[in-house]
Amino acid sequence: MPHDRNIGQFGLRFVALSVARIALSVRAKLLAAFLGITGLLVILVLFGLFALHQANLRTEAMMRDQERIAFFNDTYTTISNLNAYILALFVPQNLQDETSHNGVSGASTRSIQHVTAGLERNLALGFRRFGQPGMPDEKAIASLRADLQELLPAISELRRLSQAGDLTAAARHGLDQLFGPLQAMQREAYTVAQDVEQEVRDLADRTSQAYLTSRLNIMAAAVAAIGIALLLGYSISSSLLWPIERVHAALSKLSRGGFDSRITVPNRDELGELASHVNQTSEKLGALYGQVEVQKAQLADWNAALESRVAKQIEEIERTNRLKRFLPAQVAAMIVGATDEADVLRTRKAEITVLFADLRGFTAFAAAASPDQVIAALNAFHGTCGPLVEACGGTLERFLGDGLMVLFGAPVPLDDAAQRAVDLAQKMQMDVRSVMAPYRAGHGLGLGIGIATGPATLGRIGFEGRFDYSAIGPAPNLAARLCEIASDGQVLISNATARQVRIKMDPAGPFDLKGIGSQVAAYELTSLIKPRAALPM
């Protein structure tokens, strides 16, 4: 038994491998299997229908044979009745009653006529149904019809003698001319009926045997169809599941880092291509893994170097943030980013634009207000101006208590330094007026601004341990003097600045500026909100 089981398993595996090696797609194989199983079912159904049709044909043949038997039995009975009526003609000769003799004569005559007509009709009907050329009863029925045709004249003579009342002559005529031939016809009908009955019995036996054979054939065909369907199902499913299981095992090993796993499948369909792709993927992943290991070592070295650089950059950022608290943002960024700090802040001359801004009336406000209010007002002023300076790209050179100094074009050169300074002045006038509103009542706090463009000396000033980046020269001095004479809400700009901007302005001056001259012309921006007269200056 184990040997037979091994042979069976080997056979099933061989069939499954043979199906797997077929160069068709999985869809085509499944479709072929479906069509094969469907074809088997159709053949099984057709075979059953054929067997049923054969049974119907045998049943119809048996029914026709029963009709044949009934026909020949009827013919036999009719001929027997005719002989009985002929014999009945002898009964009246032994009777003395004339009346009775005449009654029998009339009845026998009518019976002979009726039976003869019935026999003719029966033979004619049988000829149409069973005596046509090629039918099995053709000769028998033709013989009976021929015999009846030969006896018709004798039967007519018998009727004539009976009707004439000559019963003795009629009886003798019937006995001589009709009784013998009718008995021969009767024997022939009986013999044919017996032969047909034997045929029916033989056909019944054959039908029973055919039924058993058909049942066995249908059962065998059903078992064969089921076996073939199971074999097809097993072959198709195995040809699909085996590669899938191998691919699953390879992918599981691959997911655990087994990049050397390779699979071999006999399929020449999509699963074969999938196995090939898995092998290629495993090979490429193995190569990439090797590269990753090399790069991992390199990355470790780079991380060590990067950590050092990040630590250095963090130190520089912290240094920049500390510098920004005391120096302009641009200056602090250039100092940190430069390799040579001295080179960045080296002394040089350049044309720049300088903006001075100063709170008007702040001295009186500081004398009258509490210390907290003074500091709050200064913080509000510088907190508003600082972000505006950064937004306009200016360098906040220093805080001057209630004022400030902003450079444009230093230390970072700018092509539109003058325009940026004017834009900053406009924004400061509007925003500072709004933020200083809580402190203006009764004190007349306002903002005056002066802007000048010209040459300046740029560089570091101070002492060891504390240096400032500053601008010295005509432009800062002129801007400072214009700021000193600017009233609340007023922005005065120098001629050099006015030539570089496009904005609505009116001539102002000439002014007598200390250290500058007595006939200094300037311009005043006119698109500003003027202070209301109700507010004291």
R_g (Cα) of the chain, nearest Å: 68
Collapsed DSSP state (helix, strand, coil) of residue 356: strand
Q: Are residues 38 and 160 in the same domain?
A: yes
Residue 177 forms part of a structural domain: yes
Whether 100 shows a pLDDT value over 50: the answer reads: no
pLDDT in the model for residue 150:
78
Question: What's the sign of the alpha-carbon dihedral 78, 83, 84, 89?
Answer: positive
Q: Are residues 48 and 163 in the same domain?
A: yes
Q: Give the burial class of 324: count Cβ atoms within 10 A of its Cβ; 0-12 exposed, 13-18 middle, 19 or more buried.
A: middle
Residue 246 forms part of a structural domain: no
Calculate mean pLDDT across residues 117-141: 70
Q: Are residues 190 and 44 in the same domain?
A: yes
pLDDT in the model for residue 52:
77
Residue 465 forms part of a structural domain: yes
Cα(113)–Cα(150) distance, rounded to whole angstroms? 16
Please tell me which residue, 326 or 343, carries the higher pLDDT value.
Answer: 343
CATH label of the domain that carries residue 471: 3.30.70.1230
Q: Are residues 348 and 490 in the same domain?
A: yes
Collapsed DSSP state (helix, strand, coil) of residue 453: strand
Question: pLDDT per residue over 448-505, tens digit each?
Answer: 999 999 999 988 887 776 777 789 999 999 999 999 999 999 999 999 999 999 888 8
pLDDT in the model for residue 132:
67
Report the run of H or E that residue 317 belongs to, with start and end.
helix 270-324
User: Do the Cβ atoms of 329 and 436 come closer than 8 Å?
Assistant: no
* Domain region containing 207: 11-237
Residue 92, φ and ψ in degrees, nearest 5: -65, -20
Q: What is the pTM of this model?
A: 0.42
Q: Are residues 233 and 345 in the same domain?
A: no
- CB contact burial 472-507 (16+ within 10 A = b; e otherwise): ebbbbbbbbbbbbbbebbbbbbbbbbbeebebebee
Question: pLDDT per residue over 268-307, tens digit each?
Answer: 777 777 777 777 777 777 777 778 778 888 888 888 888 8
Last residue of a domain, one of 187, 218, 237: 237
User: Do the Cβ atoms of 79 and 185 come closer than 8 Å?
Assistant: yes
Residue 298 forms part of a structural domain: no
Q: Are residues 357 and 210 in the same domain?
A: no
Please tell me which residue, 329 or 231, carries the higher pLDDT value.
Answer: 231
Cα(405)–Cα(476) distance, rounded to whole angstroms? 9
**Percentage helix, strand, coil for the chain under 3-state DSSP, each rounded to 5:** 70, 15, 20
Cα(169)–Cα(178) distance, rounded to whole angstroms? 13
Whether 17 shows a pLDDT value over 70: the answer reads: no
Residue 138 forms part of a structural domain: yes
Q: For the residues of 268-308, what is the DSSP string, one character each?
A: -SHHHHHHHHHHHHHHHHHHHHHHHHHHHHHHHHHHHHHHH
Q: How confident is the model at residue 103 (pLDDT cuts 50, 70, 90)?
A: very low
Residue 530 forms part of a structural domain: no
Per the omega criterion (within 30 degrees of 0), is the bond before 536 cis?
no
Residue 87's CB is within 10 A of a number of other CB atoms, namely 14
Question: pLDDT per residue over 61-90, tens digit each?
Answer: 777 777 777 777 777 787 777 777 777 766
> Which of 71, 231, 232, 53 has the alpha carbon at shortest distance from 145?
71
Cα(250)–Cα(446) distance, rounded to whole angstroms? 82
Last residue of a domain, one of 237, 272, 292: 237
Residue 295 forms part of a structural domain: no
Last residue of a domain, one of 187, 211, 237: 237
Q: Are residues 356 and 470 in the same domain?
A: yes
Report the run of H or E that residue 352 belongs to, with start and end.
strand 348-360
Count up the domains in the chain and report the number: 2
Cα(205)–Cα(55) distance, rounded to whole angstroms? 12
Please tell me which residue, 201 or 271, carries the higher pLDDT value.
Answer: 201
Q: Are residues 360 and 233 in the same domain?
A: no
Residue 281 forms part of a structural domain: no
Question: pLDDT per residue over 36-70, tens digit each?
Answer: 778 877 887 887 788 777 777 777 777 777 777 77
